[in-house]
Amino acid sequence: MTKISIIGAGSAFTQDIATDILTIEGLDGGTIALVEIDEKRLDIAGRLVLKLVEMTGKNWNVIASTDRREVIAGSRFVINQIEVGGLENVRYEYEIPLKYGVNQCIGDTMGPGGLFKTLRTLPSWMEIIRDVEELCPDSVILNYTNPMSAVTLLTSRVTEIPVVGLCHSIQNTSRRLAKYAGVPYEELQWRAGGINHMSWFVELTHQGKDLYPVLREKIKDPELLRKDPVRFDAMKYLGAFVSESSGHFSEYIPYYRKRQELIDLHCSAGYNGATGYYADNWPTWRRENDEKIVQQLEGARPIELKNSHEYAAVIIEAMLKNEPKVIYGNVPNQGLIHNLPYDGIVEVACMVDRNGVHPCRFGSLPEHLAALCRANMAFFELAVGAVLNRDKEMARHALMVDPLSAAVCSLAEIGDMFEELYEAERDFVPVLR
């Protein structure tokens, strides 16, 4: 019987992923193992998944523990969605950089926030990997934890267990592009590749017609431009639409958040680039998600068995039923994208069957787009290297090559900002020499 472990089961991803797994046609039983260090959130997740099993009428066993070693043995799939020290540190990672002029919207992938999330996440994740190697060495790791590229890069460096990083950027953005262009999603064709949160739709067509001229004409309407201000502006100058939201993307390149007038011009509310959006709202979102689940369990809110656009269950179904599917995954490059670092992590189309996840060769990105990706990949390489080598200087250098920090600060200012963050989060990050 198939066993699937979800580590970090208190995450908001659990409801969608469990629903997707339990509604796979023909997959009528197995074991779902839930791991969560917060006992209250583990209880909520456990009761939710049991309720979903009951609603589907299938024969799935649900086990749960705060000790992963008690429950993950023999897993075929290990889904990672951990959060390490987030509530304690999210304000530091927003407020300290802001003192230096580094204005972040999300701060979970690049920039000061992304660096320190990497430093506090990877040591705990390495401990989990060692347990996976011992207790379920034949598994496949499906990673949802941000910073996606850094977590997947480290995993590929420290274990032979197959790993694929999974996001919803391509799925959500392709649907959004179909709406923007006014074409049926089922008829939209595209070719996309790059890195997580910065994959580029280098081709976008409908019935053989290039949709980029259509989009460039449509964004003359200020109402449409306001719906995705940074991404549309970047498309106008760079020639391709990017896979992650305007707010996320505004942090990954040096053009949009380095002066207040640019932020006012391009970055609007919410995920479109609001200052401090994640720091101001994530603790509330987390609490509200828990409250929503409790209300669902008590019958005060409905539970829908509605499939999401996440890829985890698509991979599980394709491998277990040997029914080939195509996903977009984050995987070791190894020449898939010719003009990105060979040993970095890239996001490309992948075919999945009973033998696993098979990335598809992309070729070369337009060089200016590859250059923007390479800057981010250098940051990830240094951040991961800092953890693996316990090297404080590598971590500091990562922040020095970060596009947003470099656009705003001098090297001395970045060094001071790094030290202030390091002192604030000393209890959550590894001791770096």
Residue-range domains of the chain with CATH: 2-87+114-166 (3.40.50.720), 88-113+167-275+310-433 (3.90.1820.10)
Q: Which residues pair with 348 in a beta bridge?
A: 329
**Exactly one of 168, 248, 309, 338 is catalytic; which is it?**
168
Q: Which residues pair with 299 in a beta bridge?
A: none
- Cα–Cα distance, 148 to 78 (Å, whole number): 16
337, 363 Cβ separation under 8 angstroms:
yes
338 is a catalytic site residue: no
Q: What is the separation, in whole angstroms, between the first and last Cα of the chain?
A: 46
Per-residue pLDDT at 1 exceeds 90: no
pLDDT at 134: 98
Residues in the chain: 433
User: For a pLDDT cut of 90, what percent of the chain falls above it?
Assistant: 98
Per-residue pLDDT at 433 exceeds 90: no
Nearest of 422, 412, 415 to residue 399 by alpha carbon: 415
Mean of pLDDT over the chain? 97
pTM beyond 0.85: the answer is yes
What SS3 class is residue 59? Answer: strand
Per-residue pLDDT at 301 exceeds 90: yes
- Cα–Cα distance, 306 to 20 (Å, whole number): 8
Q: Give pLDDT tens digits for 142-171.
A: 999 999 999 999 999 999 999 999 999 999
pLDDT at 151: 98
As given in the structure block, the two tokens for residue 391 are 């090297």
Q: Within 13 Å, how many C-alpha atoms sit on residue 316's CB side?
A: 29
- Cβ neighbors of 217 (< 8 A, separation 6 or more) are none
Q: Give pLDDT tens digits for 57-97.
A: 999 999 999 999 999 999 999 999 999 999 999 999 999 99
DSSP sequence for 277-337: HHHHHHHHHHHHHHHHHHHHHTTSS-------S-SHHHHHHHHHHT--EEEEEEEE-TTSB
Contacts 24+ apart (CB under 8 A), 220-223: none
